[in-house]
Copies of this chain bind each other. A is one copy, B any other.
Amino acid sequence: MAITPAAGSPRSASVKDVAATAGVSLGTVSNVLNRPERVSRTTRERVERAMADLGFVRNESARSLRTGSTQSLAYVMLDAGNPFFTDVARGIELAAEAAGLSLFLCNSDGRSAREGAHLAHLQQQRVQGILITPVDPDDPQIDQLSERGTPVVIVDRTRAGSSFCSVAVDDVLGGRLAVEHLIDAGHKRVAYVGGPESIGQVRDRGEGARQAWTEAGLPPEDLITLSCEAPTVAAGRAAGERLVGLPARRRPTAAFCANDLIALGLLQQTISSGRTVPGDLAIVGYDDIEFAAAAAVPLTSVRQPRQDLGRRAAELLLDEVGDPAHQHEQVVFTPELVARASTLGRP
């Protein structure tokens, strides 16, 4: 039965209260909680009974104050609305669960300020470690976290001098794969649709695109860049409208999008404005999220091992937390092009 304390003071029971009702000392209650094997069965049951009767809930603040550590990890994600990141999160979760830790998801939504607020709060909470897909991987706040004792693993990005573990996919290579595929299909004018430039993934994929383009000996001005405000479906639609607005002789016959959300938006706008894919415009996306294959025209996309990315990142973090001899490691996965109708089909 639920105990309703005198109205107005619903202060929850403490170990002291439990000790009193069970008729044992405070230390014994703590032993029941933390080293039950050291307590005789009869006493243990008496204490457990008292805890149930009083509705005792261990106070994690007090516990972690005393022990100096918590049982949680956090993943600060760049965009919780992007299925790519939720798949990464799932991989992290599996590893965290296996290690008996709780995982908190925080969404920075691409905003530095929000990311900063989350990080500060997590640091104050003394989480065991933080996984982050940063808005800007060179943000000094990330160094500061690590210097002050919170292990950090960078997800889906790498850093130059790296005093961090990181897990990433080769975005430059991904960009090359996409554009080489379009060049192979005979396209001579291609748009790279991505943005904002502040996002490293966007820059790297664009860089890969340019490399492939110039190495094929094509004139640089025929690879145009369409910058969008955010890597979202809405921004993809907007980019589609700008594309239509271009004079026909400048208009690209194919678009490589920095991610699948943009690609889906662009695809949607293209079709609903009466043009065809890939006839009027071939489209390549990036991430190969589950929805890419189910799109109006199944989307050619650059696949990343999303869940493995998360799992591996969490493993690195757990190793850093647990092993004093931990060595930082930069894992780089290789992306893979998945060709579908949006670049292959008949117009």
Are B104's CB and A106's CB within 8 A? yes
Given A80-B86, A83-B83, verify A124-B293 contact (CB < 8 Å).
no
Which residues on the B side are within 8 Å of A58 (C-beta)? 124
Q: Which of A83, A90, A148, A297 has the most CB of B within 10 A?
A: A148
A31 to B265, CA, bound (A): 51
A41-57 interface bits toward B, Cβ cutoff 8 Å, 1 = contact, 0 = none? 00000000000000101
Q: How many of A's residues come within 8 Å of B, CB to CB?
A: 60
The answer, yes or no, to whether A279 is at the interface (CB within 8 Å) is no
> Quick one: which of A136-150 are within 8 Å of B by CB?
143-144, 147-149
A268 to B297, CA, bound (A): 10
Which of B61, B90, B121, B291 interacts with A291 by CB under 8 Å? B291
Are A93's CB and B107's CB within 8 A? yes
Which residues on the B side are within 8 Å of A103 (C-beta)? 106-107
Can you name 21 A-B pairs with beta carbons within 8 Å? Answer: A10-B148, A12-B149, A59-B124, A60-B121, A60-B126, A61-B62, A61-B65, A71-B121, A74-B104, A81-B86, A83-B83, A86-B86, A103-B106, A104-B105, A104-B106, A105-B106, A233-B291, A268-B294, A295-B296, A296-B296, A296-B298
- 10 A-B pairs with the lowest CB-CB distances in the bound complex, closest first: A105-B105, A60-B124, A61-B65, A104-B104, A268-B294, A291-B291, A264-B294, A61-B61, A2-B147, A61-B64
Residues of A within 8 A of B (CB): 2, 4, 10, 12, 55, 57-65, 70-72, 74, 80-81, 83, 86-87, 89-90, 93, 97, 102-107, 109, 114, 117-118, 121, 123-126, 143-144, 147-149, 233, 264-265, 267-268, 290-291, 293-298
